[in-house]
Structure 1
Amino acid sequence: MCMLSLIFSQVMYIITLSLCTVLVCYGLGRHIYYIPVDHQSEITRWNWIVQPFGILALPIGKISVVLLLERLMGNTCVRWRWFLWMNMALFTASMISSSIISYAQCNPPRALWSQVPGAVCLDPTVNANFALFGCAYSSFLDFTLAIIPITFVWKLRMSTQKKVGLYFLLGMGVLSGVCAAIKAAQSTELGTRQDVSWALFSLYAWSASEIFLNIVCACVATLKPLYDHLMKSKPLPRRAQHTYESRIGTDRWESV
């Protein structure tokens, strides 16, 4: 499940970056008054196209991290497992709702990027406030996923140095939480819809960074063998080590 979630998250991430590249070609990152009029409408249209992929990539990446932590914790920390999955269900539901609201705020939806006579749209601040909530919730979950390893890493039978190193890898979600917090501070500009090409650039940059760091955190279990292979010329394992998560303090991490 963790592998499938990671693959899906990576696919969504690549699609998001590809669509952002299209936006850059039309002028994303430049002030709107420097962009030709025909490109301005294209920027607005592609902005709404890319949003669902970027939004849905967030819960998928975090689910991968939760699956990793769940396997590392084993049958212990039952309360933490319930807490994580309840919050992931709520966060996923909120992200799906945010994707729907992005298009449902105007009737017909094409009124978001072009002039449609008789179109009815919600106040832009509605979508901006929902985006702010999503960014804040995402930041909260990132920091939570980074702090939870403290509850079981210190119980492992290994030296303090190894515990610190392991926790550092598992706690990289702090960086993802910082990205989400910065994105939350900038998401208020979504309600103005003025100089969109300039305002959205940093928002997409921080969002892509958050998704990338979520993927890295979920892949942390593979870093030790890769490090040994690159730095110590040790051969990579031919197949996954069984019960790696339950023996994290006795096998691969013992050779640090």
Structure 2
Amino acid sequence: MILFVIPGSALGIVLVNTGLGSSIWTISFENITNILHIYYFEGTMYLTGLSFIRISMLLTYLRIFPGAVFRQMAFISIGLNVVCAVVFFLLSTFQCVPVSYSWHRWDGEHEGHCYNINLQIRVAAIVNILLDVAAVVLPLPQLWKMKLNTPKTLLVFLMFAIGLLVPIVSVIRLQTLLQFGNAMNVTYVYARVGYWSSAEQHLAVLCACMPAIRNLIRRFWKRSTTVTHASGSTDSSGNIANSNDTMMEAGSWPREERHSIPLKDIHNDEDRRYDRKASHTASPGSFWVHALETASPA
């Protein structure tokens, strides 16, 4: 998908620098040939790139929705896009015989012939519009059955609203082609067609990448939140530790001012003897200690 879009975007910059958008009568002959040559390659990549973008969207649908009927329709749509990509690529590549006549025919000095290029471009534009609408509308019944909550429903609605812009831009591009299809001032007219073609491609890429962009934003948001929370906890615990150290330093005595009192063992077992004499009188059911006599030390 990206392999067809990025080169087209880069070539668009080259076209503008070469003179695309200016009147053909103000551009050198060499630059006119170069513009038509680059535009030829852009046309082949444009048609093929749109088909691969739709295929990538349909493959994403297959990962999300498990319904058997839906999967059959998705595979049919993928097959149609593959067929259209191959057919339009071949028609665009061999639109003139010889191929170089596509960018040399303007000067009237080269021999060759071309097929009805305007008819081919218009048919390709109409088919692309139909396939764009099918790719956007196909998952809507499945989404309706999921019964998502309000935030997710709004997010999905936003995604498909952007998706609907793609066929709208395709219609505007088709209108431009119908208006300027037979114009002689091709370097000026092709600029307007190129604007809408580029907008259509980049909007389609954005729609195809929106699920991945959403997941990327969620992961980045979670990581940034986790790092912020962890740094706040570390700072808080560090402050607590510092305050504890301060309290310990404030409440402790200097090492050299501490005093200790040595303790000595007192052995008085040999100095004192305790004689306990007890006399008791037994009475029925009781035991009484009448006296406890302690003798003085000997």
Q: TM-score, normalised by structure 1?
A: 0.76
What is the aligned counterpart of 1:219 among 209, 213, 217? 209
Unpaired segments ≥5 residues, structure 2: 225-298
**DSSP 3-state at the match of 1:109:** coil
What is the aligned counterpart of 2:73 among 83, 90, 94? 83
Check whether the contact 2:65–2:142 (CA below 8 A) recurs between aligned residues. yes
**DSSP 3-state at the match of 1:172:** helix
Match of 2:97 in 1: 107
Match of 1:244 in 2: none
Unpaired segments ≥5 residues, structure 1: 1-8, 237-256
Check whether the contact 2:51–2:84 (CA below 8 A) recurs between aligned residues. no
Check whether the contact 2:97–2:114 (CA below 8 A) recurs between aligned residues. no
In the TM superposition, residue 183 of structure 1 has moved relative to its aligned partner by 1.4
Q: State how many pairs are aligned.
A: 222
Structure 2 counterparts to residues 15-26 of structure 1, below 5 A: 15-26=7-18
Which structure has greater strand proportion? 2
Identity in percent:
20
In the TM superposition, residue 234 of structure 1 has moved relative to its aligned partner by 1.7
Shift in alpha-carbon separation, 1:39–1:224, aligned structure 2, 3 A = closer
In the TM superposition, residue 171 of structure 1 has moved relative to its aligned partner by 4.4
Which structure has greater helix proportion? 1
Structure 2 counterparts to residues 78-227 of structure 1, below 5 A: 78-114=68-104, 119-123=111-115, 126-188=116-178, 191-192=181-182, 194-227=184-217
Check whether the contact 2:102–2:114 (CA below 8 A) recurs between aligned residues. no
Specify which structure has the bigger relative contact order, considering alpha-carbon pairs within 8 angstroms and separated by 6 or more residues: 1
In the TM superposition, residue 118 of structure 1 has moved relative to its aligned partner by 7.1
Check whether the contact 1:95–1:134 (CA below 8 A) recurs between aligned residues. no
**Mapped partners of 1:42, 1:193: distance in 2:** 19
**Mapped partners of 2:216, 2:88: distance in 1:** 38
Moved more, 141-150 or 206-215: 141-150
**Mapped partners of 1:44, 1:158: distance in 2:** 50
**Mapped partners of 1:122, 1:190: distance in 2:** 18
Match of 2:50 in 1: 58
In the TM superposition, residue 157 of structure 1 has moved relative to its aligned partner by 4.7
Match of 1:40 in 2: 32
Check whether the contact 2:95–2:114 (CA below 8 A) recurs between aligned residues. yes
Q: TM-score, normalised by structure 2?
A: 0.66
In the TM superposition, residue 114 of structure 1 has moved relative to its aligned partner by 2.0
Higher Rg of the two aligned structures: 2
Shift in alpha-carbon separation, 1:129–1:95, aligned structure 2, 3 A = farther
Check whether the contact 2:58–2:135 (CA below 8 A) recurs between aligned residues. yes
